Amino acid sequence: MRRKLAAGNWKMNGLNEALAEMQKLAESHADSTTEILLCPPATLLSRAANTLGDTAIILGGQDCHAVKNGAHTGDISADMLADAGAKWVIVGHSERREDHDEHNEDVRAKANAAWEAGLGAIICLGESLAQREAANTLDIIAGQLAGSIPDNATAENLVIAYEPIWAIGTGKVPTLAQIGEVHDFIRARMERRFGAGVGRGIRILYGGSVKPDNATEIFSVPNVDGALVGGASLKAADFSQIIDALEAG
């Protein structure tokens, strides 16, 4: 009942020539049943929207400001992302939390701003290595869920991405049991907070060093509804294999 989602986070990568990779991806997944989302840098969004046209690939932003407009030099509002062709926006990525000192309340405000602009919000959360080693993972996740997700979440406007910080860009991946434990925990929390209907409909992505050679086993874990992919989403050939693995699962 939950539509699978393959989301690519290009981070601070991608110049004009990268549009060709998007086009390649669109051509090889014209009839995809999986939802395919690319989040390029904001500078490419409008051009990407023109390139992709009405293909199966949709676009998202990587962050947004919490307010609609104003004196915030260098920032981008959710309305601006929507205007440029985005349908979703990633908020609370660990690199934002770390590099820009963003906390749960900031993430919550950004998710609300996304919803006001008509965008869906992909809210990221995950523990550090020290927190995992101290056996605090589920407490940390519980706090991030409670603090980052606004009360008016629905299965349509929210996607949660579980991304252990120590797995992002490192090539290290949690065991399938560790992924399963956290995804089951998130599902249970969402059902408890929003009711079984909404809680069961919210998609939960895994993110952290997903590659073509580990995607199939990660997607076999219950309550993994797709992936948020960084490095391996930059090349159409790699991301394509991950999408195929998701669709086959």
- CB-based burial of residue 1 (10 Å sphere; 0-12 exposed, 13-18 middle, 19+ buried)? exposed
23's tokens: 């086009």
Q: How far is the CB of 71 from ligand PEP (least distance, A)?
A: 30
Cβ-based neighbours of 69, under 8 Å, separated by 6 or more = 77, 79
Q: Which residue is nearest to ligand PEP (CB)?
A: 230
State the Rg of the chain over Cα.
17
Nearest to 114 by CA among 140, 89, 145, 83: 89
Stretch that binds ligand PEP, among 50-58, 63-71, 105-113, 203-211 (CB under 6 A): 203-211
Q: Rule CB under 6 A: say whether 244 interacts with ligand PEP.
A: no
Interhelix angle for 236-248 vs 19-28, to 10°? 30
What distance in Å separates the CA atoms of residue 140 and residue 160, rounded to the nearest whole number? 15
Beta strand 57-61 with 226-229 is unpaired
Catalytic residue among 21, 29, 65, 93: 93
Q: Rule CB under 6 A: say whether 8 interacts with ligand PEP.
A: no
Q: Rule CB under 6 A: say whether 195 interacts with ligand PEP.
A: no
Q: Rule CB under 6 A: say whether 121 interacts with ligand PEP.
A: no
Catalytic residue among 21, 35, 163, 183: 163
| Interface residue with ligand PEP, options 59, 179, 215, 229 (CB under 6 A) | 229
Catalytic residue list contains 27: no
66's tokens: 């919490």
The SS3 of residue 247 is helix
Stretch that binds ligand PEP, among 42-50, 108-116, 183-191, 223-231 (CB under 6 A): 223-231
- Outline where DSSP puts E strands in the chain: 5-9, 35-39, 57-61, 86-91, 120-125, 158-162, 203-207, 226-229
Q: Rule CB under 6 A: say whether 144 interacts with ligand PEP.
A: no
Catalytic residue list contains 163: yes
196's tokens: 């079984």
Q: How far is the CB of 118 from ligand PEP (least distance, A)?
A: 23
Q: How far is the CB of 73 from ligand PEP (least distance, A)?
A: 25
**Cβ closest to ligand PEP, residue 194 vs residue 219:** 219
Q: Rule CB under 6 A: say whether 169 interacts with ligand PEP.
A: yes
**Cβ closest to ligand PEP, residue 21 vs residue 163:** 163
Q: How far is the CB of 156 from ligand PEP (least distance, A)?
A: 22
Q: Which residues are tagged catalytic? A: 93, 163
Site for ligand PEP, rule CB under 6 A: 9, 11, 163, 168-169, 207-210, 228-232
